[in-house]
Structure 1
Amino acid sequence: MSGLKLYSVSDGPPSLAVKMVLEVLKVPYENIEVDFVAGEHISEEYAKKNPQREIPVLEDNGFFLSESNAILQYLAEKHKNRSIYPEDVQERARVNQRLCFNLSTYYRSILDHIILPMFYDYQRTPQTEKKLQIALSAFNSYLERDGFKYAASDNLTIADLQLVTATLCLEAVNFDFTQFQKITKWYETFKAENEKLWAIAKVGMLELRHFNTNPPDLSHLKHPVHPVRKV
């Protein structure tokens, strides 16, 4: 065992992205499931690993790293994989831009419209859907403008891992995005060409599908940020 530990949640898109990069890199690690429903992520003990109390966290022989983008970059750098994280300055910049776009806009809009209402006292509204449609349109335009098979290159990169795990949230709730033809083609290409990676991601997608119709009871928690749904 490498001494690598991943504190993750089985249906969390950022956790799934990190699990996929570890599969790509063939790095052994210990997966430690954080009990989200029990509130382990907001405990003082977990805060020692990540003061933001968010999941996932990577522990590499006593070195703690949060923020899934940073984790993906760190692992690709450490294991010198220039295919999923190119060395060329412009190619890498494009990957980094897609990672930033996902965090600030794409996954952000999916989080607000799809994920948060599953677990907390948030509503899906015309405004949250409008923001999601804008994000989808932007991503579709990136794919159309640059003409790559994948999100930032003709090869799979760490950007795809984040964007795929965001997109699977739409599939989980049967949100129709087929009008965005470039996204649809990219998403199906990822599934067809990366069966082992999709097998990891699909587990989370199916769990989210379950939670969408069977929301967990979190009323016992006092979350520091999100309003808890009253049951």
Structure 2
Amino acid sequence: MVLKLYVVSDGPPSLSVRQALALLEVPCQQVDVDFGAGDHMTDEYALMNPQKEIPVLDDDGFFLSESNAILQYICDKYSPGTPLYPQDPKIRAVVNHRLCFNLSTYYANISAYTMAPIFFDYERTPLGLKKVHIALDVFNTYLSRAGTTHAAADHLTIADFPLINSTMTLEAIDFDFSKYEKVSTWYEDFKKDYPELWKISADAMKEIKHFAANPPDLTHMDHPIHPIRKVKK
């Protein structure tokens, strides 16, 4: 049975898994989840993922959510030994660290500033901006101290994908992060060195830019966590 991946077209976690599948050439059926229609909020979707978040991987009835776990699973099952998820304990530990850092700090703080105000009733505040700069500064420090060409090693790993897509949302709202030289160089090198993988991110960035200019009406959605922005008539 071919893998199924339930994705949202502009969601950084979905993009990261798509990039890994593309690079590893793992056959996969992509199932687009209509976020605006609330497809992920249904009881049927909750059977796959009680968190009602996207993406979800369906491997012949084995459902796996959380993009970090999906990235690790894909590598271990479908391409064991791939440099994308190195076997060396120390290098793998750094990869795992960068994945955790993105989830806990980098994407958490950046998306709250870039994505949440587009889709939900959140504002871009001075505190939110400060958290973005802290996240960028920490990542810049990691890159500087490691001295590697990529996020976790001197070659591409699954750690690069989530961090690239988090950073992409900054570009989507025209946020200037050029003063973080290591981050900026790493980001631009990814575009140049992996054009086919970057295209996945670039297409999503166009969507984010569109939604930023034309915020979607989600007032029909009963979201348990995020407050829905009331659309001005």
What range is the shorter-chain TM-score in?
over 0.9
TM-score (norm 1): 0.98
Alpha-carbon shift at residue 56 of structure 1 (Å): 0.2
- Listed one character per residue, the Cα deviations across residues 162-194 of structure 1 (whole Å, up to 9, x for unaligned) are 100100000100000000000000001111110
| 1:28 match | 27
TM-score (norm 2): 0.97
| 1:175 match | 175
- Listed one character per residue, the Cα deviations across residues 1-58 of structure 1 (whole Å, up to 9, x for unaligned) are x420000000000000000000111011110000100001111111011000000000
1:1-231 equivalence runs, <5 A = 2-78=1-77, 79-231=79-231
Letter in 2 for 1:227: P
Note if contact 2:115-2:169 (Cα within 8 Å) is conserved in structure 1: yes
Alpha-carbon shift at residue 81 of structure 1 (Å): 4.1
What secondary structure does 2:64 align onto? strand
Letter in 1 for 2:90: Q
Letter in 1 for 2:93: A
- Listed one character per residue, the Cα deviations across residues 122-179 of structure 1 (whole Å, up to 9, x for unaligned) are 0000000000100000000000001000000000000000100100000100000000
What secondary structure does 1:216 align onto? coil
Alpha-carbon shift at residue 82 of structure 1 (Å): 2.6
Alpha-carbon shift at residue 89 of structure 1 (Å): 0.4
Alpha-carbon shift at residue 119 of structure 1 (Å): 0.2
Alpha-carbon shift at residue 115 of structure 1 (Å): 0.6
Note if contact 2:81-2:87 (Cα within 8 Å) is conserved in structure 1: no
CA distance in 2, matches of 1:153, 1:135: 20
Alpha-carbon shift at residue 77 of structure 1 (Å): 0.7
CA distance in 1, matches of 2:53, 2:34: 12
CA distance in 1, matches of 2:76, 2:204: 26
- What value does the CA root-mean-square deviation take over the aligned residues? 0.7
Q: Which runs of 5+ in 1 are unaligned?
A: none
Letter in 2 for 1:124: R
Q: Which runs of 5+ in 2 are unaligned?
A: none
What secondary structure does 2:115 align onto? helix
Query: What is the count of residue pairs matched by the alignment?
Result: 230
